[in-house]
């Protein structure tokens, strides 16, 4: 492994990783280079989390403009020294508190950007939800997540891993699992394997109401849709109305939401809108 000496670099600045922030810094240079290559050249980059700045520097060399959102100000002395690129800027903030549309306007002149990040495992779902809510702002996302999460996002209907977020991901994006990354590639080593995935927004995708529609269908995972209180409330339909909706979509009236493909969920959503 072509290794970045992460611990030596942290020690030089009197720093350590913060468990409370889910910090696991990549030390495998080949993985970092693969991520940077996947991000592409000549565009705008929004990086989520800087680590020790190695990936940030690689991205800055390829980007027209790069911006990194970093919550941990303890890393500031290291990062300011290690990332001297003129086309790069740090924003010291929590990504979950950021308005991506405002950042797009203020920092990228309204142009779309590529999102890159080694996402903290404990807030992966929240970050993905933010990205989907701001999907008009970006044209690609290259994300390191827990391997099981990547598999769940890209899995097929009817599988044990299938969730509302699986449907939403597949409905909004083309997705690809780029590579798997074992624990020894990080400092400190996590207890799980990771994976890098690439998401690209589809040109034709449902509107933002689709998210809550799908989530309501998975709220009572083991219930048939026609018996789901959350789905009834979201659609404004009673049991008979949901049966009519399912029949119109060519779907079994006794089916559960986890049995439907993302295409079937889109069809169901379009029909439900026409019924109200």
Domain ranges of the chain: 6-201, 209-275
pLDDT at position 22 over 90: no
Select from 3.40.50.720, 3.40.50.300, 1.10.8.100, 1.10.150.120 the CATH code of 209-275: 1.10.8.100
Average pLDDT over the chain, rounded to an integer = 92
pLDDT at position 1 over 60: no
pLDDT for 218? 93
**How far apart, in whole angstroms, are the C-alpha atoms of residue 13 and residue 258?**
49
- Determine phi and psi for 144, rounding to 5 degrees: -95, 125
Inter-residue contact 243 to 252 (CB < 8 Å):
no
Cα diameter, the chain: 67
**62-103: pLDDT as tens digits:** 999 999 999 999 999 999 998 877 899 999 999 999 999 999
Select from 3.30.2010.10, 3.30.1360.30, 3.40.50.720, 3.40.50.150 the CATH code of 6-201: 3.40.50.150
Q: Give mean pLDDT, residues 241-264.
A: 92
Inter-residue contact 116 to 60 (CB < 8 Å):
no
**How far apart, in whole angstroms, are the C-alpha atoms of residue 36 and residue 69?**
17
**164-180: pLDDT as tens digits:** 999 999 999 999 999 99
**How far apart, in whole angstroms, are the C-alpha atoms of residue 243 and residue 258?**
16
**How far apart, in whole angstroms, are the C-alpha atoms of residue 270 and residue 46?**
33
- Determine phi and psi for 129, rounding to 5 degrees: -60, -40
pLDDT for 137? 97
Three-state SS for 224?
coil
pLDDT for 2? 65
**How far apart, in whole angstroms, are the C-alpha atoms of residue 210 and residue 172?**
10
Share of the chain above pLDDT 70, in %: 99
């Amino acid at each position: 492994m072509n290794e970045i000496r992460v611990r030596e670099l942290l020690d030089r600045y009197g720093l350590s990783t913060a468990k409370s922030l889910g910090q696991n810094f990549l030390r495998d240079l080949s993985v970092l280079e693969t991520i940077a290559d996947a991000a592409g050249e000549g565009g705008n980059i929004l990086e989520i989390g800087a680590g020790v700045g190695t990936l940030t520097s690689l991205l800055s060399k390829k980007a027209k403009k790069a911006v990194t959102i970093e919550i941990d100000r303890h890393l500031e002395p290291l990062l300011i020294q290690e990332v001297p690129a003129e086309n790069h800027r740090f924003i010291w903030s929590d990504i979950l508190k950021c308005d991506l549309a405002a950042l797009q306007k203020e920092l990228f002149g309204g142009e779309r950007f590529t999102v890159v990040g080694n996402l903290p495992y404990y807030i992966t779902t929240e970050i993905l939800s933010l990205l989907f809510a701001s999907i008009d702002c970006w044209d690609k996302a290259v994300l390191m997540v827990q391997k099981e999460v990547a598999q769940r996002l890209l899995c097929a209907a009817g599988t044990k891993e299938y969730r509302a977020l699986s449907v939403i991901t597949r409905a909004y994006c083309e997705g690809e699992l780029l590579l798997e990354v074992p624990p020894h590639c990080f400092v400190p080593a996590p207890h799980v394997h990771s994976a890098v995935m690439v998401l690209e927004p589809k040109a034709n995708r449902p509107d933002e109401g689709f998210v809550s529609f799908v989530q309501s269908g998975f709220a009572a995972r083991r219930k048939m849709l026609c018996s789901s209180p959350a789905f009834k409330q979201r659609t404004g339909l009673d049991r008979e109305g949901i049966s009519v909706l399912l029949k119109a979509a060519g779907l079994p009236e006794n089916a559960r939401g986890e049995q439907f493909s993302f295409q079937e969920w889109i069809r169901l959503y379009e029909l439900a809108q026409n019924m109200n």
